Amino acid sequence: MEISTNTSKLDLGSTNTDSRAIPSQSEKEESFGRWDNFVDSFRQYQPASYDGYEELTDLEKSAIKTANSPLQRKLNSRVMNMLALASSLGSGLLIASGEALNTGGPLAVLVCWALTGLAVFCTVQALGEMAVTFPVSGSFNVYASRFIDPSIGFAVAWNYFLQYLVLLPLELVAGSMTMQYWITSINPDVWVLIFYVAVISINLFGVRAYGEAEFLFSLIKVTAILMFIIVSIVIAAGGAPKGDAVGGKYWVNPGLLANGFKGFVSVFITSAFSYAGTELVGLTAAESENPRVSLPKATKQAFWRILFFYMVSLTLICFLIPYDDPRLLGNSSVDINASPFVIAITNGGISGLPSVMNAVILVSVISVGSSSVYATSRTLTALAEQGMAPKILGYIDKKGRPIIAIMITNVFGLLSFIAASNKQEVVFNWLLSISGLSSVFTWLSICVAHIRFRRALSCQGRGTDEIAFKSQTGIIGSFYGALLNIIILMAEFWLSLFPLGDKPNAQAFFQSYLGFVVLLACYIGHKIWKKNWILFISAKDMDIDTGRKETDIEALKQELKEEREIFQSKPLYQRIYHTWC
C-alpha cells in the first residue's frame, strides 16, 4: 500500500482527480452520435481500484474515496471569488435585518452583527486552511469525521443536507410569492414550475453552468447593494428629495436598545442565521480548478463581504430608520414592505425602489435555490463515499455530476407546488425546524476540526510550514468561533424556552430547537450503528496526508519557503493587497 516514504499508506488518496476525470484516448476515438454521447454522459464514472482496499478501516476507505472523487474541477478563480463575495447575500440581510432592528434596536444590530461576523470570518479562514490542504469531496463534514469523530461528521453532514433540502422548495415558493407583487392573476404554482425548471437546468448542465449562473446572480446582488449603500449615504447627508440630514437623532429617540437584554439576544441569533451559506465556498474545493490559488483568495473575500455588505449597509440603516417604525414588523421572507432598504430610501422620497428591490429578492431566491441543489447533492455524495449513506447515492456520471443525489433533491423540491395551498406556512415552519440550527452546528464543527488538525500536526512532529495557506486568524480565531457558536446555541435554547413577547409553549420550543434533537439522534444513531464508542480521534492517530494534492511534503516546504521569500521582496502596497485580497 505504501507509495512514498514521506506519507502514510493512504497516499493513494492523493491521486490527481483532474487526470482521472479525463476520458482515455480509446474513449475519445469512439464515434458516437450526439444523442449517444448525451446518453453516455449519464453513465457512471468507474473509479480506480486499489490493492488491499478491503483491508482498510472505514475511516481510511472514506478518506481515499473523498480524496479521489470524480467530481470535475471546473470552477475558476473568477467564479470562486464571486461565490465567496455574494453567494449568501439574501433575505437575511435584505429583510430579516429590519425585523432585528425592530426587536433589538440599532446598538444590538451593530454589535451582534459585528461579533457574529468576526466569528464567521474566523470560521471561513479555518475552513480555507483545511480546504486548501485537503480539497476533498464533502469538505467540512469530511474534516469533522477525520479530525474530530466520524459520528460528529455523520450528524453534521445529515443536518446540513436537510437544511438545504428544505431550502429548495421554500425558495421556490418565495419566488412565486415575489412574482405576485407584479402579477396576481396567475396561479402561484405556474411561477413555481418556471423557477423549478430553471434551477434544475442550472445543475444538470454541470458544475461549470452552476458556477457561471451563480457568478451572474452574485454580480447582480453586489451591484444592487452597492447602489443602495451609495443612495443611503446621500439620504443620510440630506441630499434626498425629502428630508434633511439625519445624523444620530434616531439613536436618541426612540433610543439605542429595544426590548432590553432579551431583545439583544434575539438579534444575536438573527445575525448568525443571516450569515448562513458562507461556508459554501469550502464545499466547492473538490471542484475548483486550482484550490491552492483560488481558495485563499475566495476566503479573504469574506472579510470584505462582512465589512461592506453587512456592517456598512446596516450602519446606514440604523441611522436612517427608527427601530419603532411600524413597517419593520413584517416577518415574511418576501415581504418587500418590511425591507429596511426599501423603507430607508422611500423615506428619502425616491420612488420606484420596491420594484427594483423585488427583482433583487427574486434573483436571490433563485440563487439560493440553485445553491441548495448544489449543496445537498455534494453533501449526499460525500456521505455515500464515506459509507454513511447508501452507495447508490454516490453515483457520479462521466460529466462529474452526482446525478442520483441531484434527482433526489429535485424530487423533494416538488413540495414547492403547495404554494397555492393555505397550509404552506405550517408545512414549511416544521420543515425548517428540522435543520434550523444546522449552520451553527456546521461552523462549530469547522472550528473544532481546525483546532484538532493543528493539534495533530503538533503531536505528529509536523509544523505549519507544510500548509500552503494558513488561517489569518490562526487557532485563536477558531477558539473564538467555537465559543461564539456555543453561546449562540445557548441563547437560542433560552429564547426557545422563553420566547420574546410570548409565554413558554412546546410548539415554539420545538420549532426553534428541533434541529438539536435531530443532530443528537443522528450522533447517537451512528454510534450504535458503527459501534463507535470513542468521543474523539486521538491526535497522534489522525490521518493528515490523504487528500493532499502535493504528496512530497519536503518539496512542498521548499516551494512554500521560496514563495514567502518572493512575497517579502515585493513592494509594501503589493504585500498589503495580497494579504487582504
> In the chain, what are the domain boundaries?
9-549, 551-581
**Given pLDDT bands bounded at 50, 70 and 90, which one contains residue 175?**
confident
Q: How far is CA 471 from the centre of its chain?
A: 18
Angle at 150 (CA atoms; ends 144, 152), nearest 5 degrees? 60
Lowest-confidence pick of 28-32, 131-135, 436-440, 504-508: 28-32
How many residues comprise the chain? Answer: 581
Lowest-confidence pick of 4-8, 389-393, 454-458, 541-545: 4-8
The confidence score (pLDDT) of residue 169 equals 85
CA distance 525 to 519: 10
The confidence score (pLDDT) of residue 48 equals 63
**Coil, helix or strand at residue 258:** coil
CB-based burial, 469-500: b 16+ in 10 Å, e otherwise = bbbbbbbebbbbbbebbebbbebbeebbeebe
Of 158 and 335, more confident: 158
pTM for the model stands at 0.88
Rg from Cα positions in the chain: 24
**Coil, helix or strand at residue 44:** strand
Q: What is the mean pLDDT of residues 469-473?
A: 92
**Chain segment 362-382, per-residue pLDDT in tens:** 888 888 888 889 989 999 998
Whether the pLDDT of residue 16 is over 50: the answer is: no
Lowest-confidence pick of 2-6, 107-111, 281-285, 317-321: 2-6
Q: Greatest CA span in the chain, whole angstroms?
A: 76
Lowest-confidence pick of 13-17, 48-52, 256-260: 13-17
Query: In Å, what is the CA distance from 202 to each residue of 44, 340, 370, 376, 416?
Result: 20, 31, 7, 14, 18
Q: What is the mean pLDDT of residues 326-355?
A: 73
The confidence score (pLDDT) of residue 537 equals 93
Strand partners, 288: 75
CA distance 376 to 163: 8
C-alpha grid cell, residue 271: 445575525
Of 341 and 311, more confident: 311
Angle at 222 (CA atoms; ends 221, 225), nearest 5 degrees? 85
* CA pseudo-torsion sign 300, 305, 310, 313: positive
Give the mean pLDDT of the chain.
Answer: 82
The confidence score (pLDDT) of residue 228 equals 85
What is 9-549's CATH superfamily? Amino acid/polyamine transporter I (1.20.1740.10)
Q: Are the C-beta atoms of residues 443 and 123 closer than 8 Å to each other?
A: yes
Which residue stretches of 237-310 are H helix?
249-252, 260-274, 280-283, 291-304
Of 91 and 463, more confident: 463
**Chain segment 405-425, per-residue pLDDT in tens:** 999 999 988 888 876 666 666
**Given pLDDT bands bounded at 50, 70 and 90, which one contains residue 458?**
very high
Q: Are the C-beta atoms of residues 508 and 430 closer than 8 Å to each other?
A: no
Whether the pLDDT of residue 485 is over 90: the answer is: yes
The confidence score (pLDDT) of residue 52 equals 63
The confidence score (pLDDT) of residue 50 equals 61
C-alpha grid cell, residue 543: 490521518
Whether the pLDDT of residue 349 is over 70: the answer is: yes
**Given pLDDT bands bounded at 50, 70 and 90, which one contains residue 22?**
very low
CB atoms within 10 A of CB 502: 8
CA distance 381 to 401: 10
Q: Are the C-beta atoms of residues 478 and 471 closer than 8 Å to each other?
A: yes
